[in-house]
Amino acid sequence: MQNNIWDDKNLIKILENDGVVVMPTDTIYGLVGKALQKEVVERIYEIKKRTPEKPFIILIGDLEEIKKLEIELIPEQKKNLEKFWPGPVSIILNCSSEDFSFLHRGTKVLALRLPLESSLRDLLIKTGPLIATSANTEALPPCKNIEEAKEYFGNSVDLYVDGGLIKEKHSKLIKLNKDGSIVVLRE
């Protein structure tokens, strides 16, 4: 995959204008859009045919983005974050704010990931946090290339970004509890 694939003016423009895109993430192809725009989030649920109670993972460009989601970290959590990030680890944190119920879907938690690739983090700084769910309709395997993504989504997304063949490799999923403990939910 090309390293500068995320430094594309058209990609940035579409995301900034509340578009939905299929693009490589730091792990697999993702169906992505602005996390802080409720309409975009709901559109992604519809396109993916996802169970409405299941929250999406959110990609962030830096640790400051956590504050935008009204997540308060205790020192132990922050120290643990630094062990895993940046990298292919999605971390579940408590988020009780009702302002973000469209993201946490009543679970009062959000899964966030700070990618390792600096060019992807640069995109995220420009666009703000992005929903990133595997590029597939619910219960089907994630796409490994753009052709498979187009079979799933057709014209329902605004842009396809071709990163070549990407073999399935979901992020590791962990929960950082308020007491500082770590629970691994997916390797």
What is the per-residue pLDDT for 3? Answer: 55
Q: How far is CA 64 from the centre of its chain?
A: 16
User: Mean pLDDT by 10-residue block, N- to C-terminus, for the chain (187 residues)?
Assistant: 77 97 95 97 96 94 92 87 92 92 94 95 96 93 95 97 86 88 89
- pLDDT score at 1: 47
Distance of CA 154 to the CA centre of its chain: 21
- The rounded distance, in Å, linking the Cα atoms of 133 and 30 is 5
d(CA 82, CA 34): 25
Provide the 3-class DSSP secondary structure of residue 159.
strand
CB 6 within 8 A of CB 122: yes
Q: Which amino acid is at 60?
A: I
Query: Is 138 in contact with 45 (CB distance < 8 Å)?
Result: no
pTM > 0.85: yes
The pLDDT assigned to 88 comes to 93
pLDDT at position 39, please?
98
Predicted local confidence at residue 171, as pLDDT: 87
Domains of the chain: 9-186 (3.90.870.10)
pLDDT at 168: 64
Range 174-179 contact pairs with CB under 8 angstroms and sequence separation of 24 or more = 174/84, 174/89, 174/90, 174/91, 174/92, 175/91, 175/92, 175/109, 176/77, 176/80, 176/81, 176/91, 176/92, 176/93, 178/74, 178/77, 178/94, 179/76
B/e letters for 108-120, b = 16+ CB within 10 Å, e = fewer, are: ebbbbbbbebeeb
The two three-digit tokens of residue 109, written as one number = 């938690």
Cα 4 from Cα 20, distance rounded (Å): 20
Question: What phi, psi does 31 have (nearest 5°)?
Answer: -95, 110
pLDDT at 32: 98
